[in-house]
């Protein structure tokens, strides 16, 4: 019998919900479960309702579920707002000082007072009570606290023991192994992938949900030997990164949709001047400020068409932490080799969610590396030498005058308006798109799951893959997902969709942006299932929506 358990932790901002969720995830990890964690919070510094849903299973999971088996309630809102997630066997563990409900109540204030502990440690008492109700041995709790709360672990453990001893096992969780996995957020996976791909500098202005990428890289900059810069705004971000790249560095930048709006002129500069650059764009609900701390997939068309004029770009939308790591490394290599902008299109669900990752199973990433000038002949930055890209040299290279130009230019980088030269340089830039498409044949640009000959197929992109894959398994459908969105893998996608009698697109936007992109490539979607309230689709939600659509 498959093992699958979900735990909800809820309270108000400032209660340490994220930290509590992380500890619960580590407890499940310590008894052999693969985990994923979804965090939801309003855009408030204090107040409002925050919660985390931690799912553990005996198989890899990338999406949380609606229904929960355990609830850790720091306040009454957690009970009242989430009662629809409870089933007949849901176990509630709560702070009886502020919550009046059936279940396993403990006095957090009494536990804190007995140990002379600060209020912030109240979570430890409730986590201890949860562990006891779930039948997790105390030795495992002690090990997790000592490993993941090194500062103040002793007093936290004493408080946790107070909660542990007040509760009996109600719904024990089966231990399924001793193997522990790395728990990593999507943004951390992106960061490590960028570093694996050769990142030398990260430049960013904080914007949810990309901000934790900046924080992680800044914290570990010395360890990884990289430079991390926080300029005054997003325009400065992209221009500074272009300067770093021109000088021979390997930069990446990060933002969300609103920040990317300000970067589009710099994006066009990268296209015309053929300056390598990787851009991480993590989507949230829009337009404008929208819902800053919620998720969405409404920036696809913007990303594909941003900037004036025509120039090739690489766009990839990973759906899992494992893919985020691998494709971020690929993006670094593609940008450097083909001298194009490479965009990693994520979303809040992936960026801020936490997932189990087995480092042993991370894929090998082939690297081409930049094409560098060998010092022979006269150096021309934009030499149309018959190869895919012009050879690069950087300022300070002996014998090379390195001139890049945002104007139409000739092979040396000198501004020109001569029709023949402008046409030649345009063809030279656009040739890279065809070669980039050929290079993608070596990668898994389209992911499939489910029966090959299923009559009904789901097509999705990005983090929606978790809900799509599980819904497809439950309903006997086939799930198909393009990971690379530019250059679009038309032939491979059409092969994956062969035999479909009904094609349903599943997206977290209001207009069906992937469906529209498919139409441009001769693929017609019959039905669209769209989610646009800022909350991600779960498998249960999607199954219900698909049944409503007649599946």
CATH number of the domain enclosing 512? 3.40.50.920
Interacting residues of 48 by C-beta distance below 8 A, sequence separation 6+: 12, 13, 41, 42
Structurally, how many domains does the chain consist of?
A: 4
In the chain, which stretches have pLDDT less than 50?
none
99 closest CA partner among 115, 122, 117: 122
Answer yes or no: do 35 and 96 share one domain: yes
Phi, psi of 156 (to 5 degrees): -60, -40
Residue 319 belongs to a domain: yes
Domain termination site, one of 425, 443, 461: 443
Confidence (pLDDT) at 2:
78
425 closest CA partner among 437, 405, 408, 406: 408
Answer yes or no: do 252 and 396 share one domain: no
Residue 76 belongs to a domain: yes
Answer yes or no: do 351 and 381 share one domain: no
pTM > 0.95: yes or no: yes
* Tokens standing for residue 280: 């991480």
Answer yes or no: do 213 and 353 share one domain: yes
Answer yes or no: do 499 and 421 share one domain: no
Structural domain range at position 59: 4-165
Answer yes or no: do 399 and 308 share one domain: no
Phi, psi of 279 (to 5 degrees): -125, 125
Answer yes or no: do 283 and 357 share one domain: yes
**Element at 93 (helix H, strand E):** strand 91-95
Q: What is the DSSP string of 3-59?
A: -EEEEEEEEEETS-HHHHHHHHHHHHHHTT-EEEEEEE--S-SSEEEEEEEEEEESS
Domain termination site, one of 383, 414, 443: 443
Residue 173 belongs to a domain: no
Answer yes or no: do 228 and 356 share one domain: yes
Answer yes or no: do 201 and 349 share one domain: yes
Answer yes or no: do 376 and 354 share one domain: no
Return d(Cα 285, Cα 299) in angstroms, integer: 9
Listed as own residue / partner, the contacts of 165-170 with beta carbons closer than 8 Å and 24 or more positions apart are 165/132, 166/106, 166/129, 166/132, 167/93, 167/104, 167/106, 167/129, 167/132, 167/133, 168/132, 168/133, 169/132, 169/133, 169/134, 169/135, 170/91, 170/104, 170/133
Residue 366 belongs to a domain: no
Residue 170 belongs to a domain: no
Return d(Cα 495, Cα 148) in angstroms, integer: 47
Which residues share a beta bridge with 50? 11
Domain termination site, one of 443, 478, 501: 443
Interacting residues of 88 by C-beta distance below 8 A, sequence separation 6+: none
Q: Under a CB-based contact definition with an 8 Å cutoff, are residues 29 and 133 in contact?
A: no
- Cα–Cα distances (Å) from 329 to 190, 343, 362, 367, 545, in that order, read 8, 12, 12, 9, 36
Phi, psi of 69 (to 5 degrees): -95, -25
Confidence (pLDDT) at 432:
95
Segment 365-408, tens digit of pLDDT: 889 999 999 999 999 999 998 788 999 999 999 999 999 999 99
Q: What is the DSSP string of 479-545?
A: EEEESEEES--HHHHHHHTTT-SEEEEEESSSS-HHHHHHHHTT---SEEEE--SSSPP-HHHHHHH
Confidence (pLDDT) at 544:
98
Number of neighbours of residue 144 by Cβ within 10 angstroms: 25
**CATH number (domain holding residue 155):** 3.40.920.10
Residue 486 belongs to a domain: yes
Answer yes or no: do 209 and 341 share one domain: yes
Answer yes or no: do 336 and 209 share one domain: yes
Residue 178 belongs to a domain: no
* Tokens standing for residue 101: 């409900």
Residue 124 belongs to a domain: yes
């Amino acid at each position: 019998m498959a093992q699958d358990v979900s735990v909800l932790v809820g309270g108000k901002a400032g209660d340490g919900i994220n930290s509590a969720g992380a500890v619960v995830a580590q407890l499940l990890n310590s008894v052999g479960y693969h985990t994923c964690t979804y965090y939801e919070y309003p855009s408030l510094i204090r107040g409002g309702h925050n919660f985390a849903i931690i799912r553990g299973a005996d198989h890899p999971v990338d999406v949380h579920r609606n229904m929960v088996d355990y609830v850790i309630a720091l306040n009454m809102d957690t009970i009242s707002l989430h009662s629809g997630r409870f089933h007949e066997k849901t176990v509630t563990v709560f702070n009886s000082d502020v919550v009046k409900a059936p279940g396993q109540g403990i006095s957090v204030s009494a536990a804190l007072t007995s140990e002379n502990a600060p209020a912030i440690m109240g979570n430890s008492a409730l986590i201890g009570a949860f562990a006891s109700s779930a039948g997790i041995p105390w030795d495992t709790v002690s090990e997790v606290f000592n490993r993941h709360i090194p500062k103040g672990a002793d007093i936290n453990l004493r408080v946790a023991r107070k909660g542990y001893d007040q509760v009996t096992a109600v719904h024990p969780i089966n231990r399924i192994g001793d193997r522990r996995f790395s728990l990593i957020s999507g943004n951390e996976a992106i960061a490590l992938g960028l570093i694996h791909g050769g990142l030398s500098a990260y430049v960013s202005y904080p914007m949810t949900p990309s901000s934790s990428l900046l924080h992680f890289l800044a914290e570990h900059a010395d360890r990884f030997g990289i430079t991390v810069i926080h300029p005054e705004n997003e325009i400065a971000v992209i221009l500074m990164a272009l300067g770093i790249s021109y000088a021979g560095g390997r930069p990446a930048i990060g933002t969300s949709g609103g920040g990317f709006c300000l970067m589009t002129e710099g994006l066009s500069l990268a296209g015309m001047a053929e300056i390598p650059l990787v851009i991480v764009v993590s989507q949230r609900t829009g337009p404008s400020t929208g819902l800053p701390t919620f998720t969405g997939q409404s920036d696809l068309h913007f990303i594909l068409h941003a900037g004036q004029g025509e120039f090739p770009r690489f766009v990839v939308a990973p759906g899992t932490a494992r893919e985020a790591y691998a494709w971020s490394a690929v993006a670094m290599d593609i940008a450097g080799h083909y001298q194009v902008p490479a965009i990693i299109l994520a979303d809040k669900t992936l960026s801020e969610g936490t997932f189990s990752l087995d480092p042993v199973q991370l894929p090998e990433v082939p690297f081409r590396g930049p094409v560098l000038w060998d010092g022979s002949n006269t150096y021309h930055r934009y030499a149309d030498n018959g190869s895919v890209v012009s050879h690069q040299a950087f300022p300070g290279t002996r014998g090379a005058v390195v001139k890049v130009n945002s104007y139409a230019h000739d092979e040396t980088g000198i501004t020109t308006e001569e029709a023949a030269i402008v046409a030649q340089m345009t063809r030279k830039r656009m040739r890279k798109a065809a070669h980039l498409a050929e290079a993608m044949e070596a990668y898994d640009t389209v992911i499939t799951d489910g029966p090959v000959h299923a009559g009904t197929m789901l097509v999705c992109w990005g983090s929606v893959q978790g809900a799509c894959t599980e819904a497809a398994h439950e309903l006997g459908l086939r799930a198909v997902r393009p990971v690379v969105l530019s250059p679009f893998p038309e032939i491979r996608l059409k092969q994956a969709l062969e035999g479909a009698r009904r094609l349903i697109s599943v997206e977290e936007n209001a207009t069906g942006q992937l469906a529209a992109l498919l139409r441009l490539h001769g693929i017609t979607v019959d039905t669209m299932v769209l989610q646009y309230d800022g909350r991600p689709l779960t498998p249960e939600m999607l199954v219900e929506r698909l049944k409503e659509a007649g599946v």
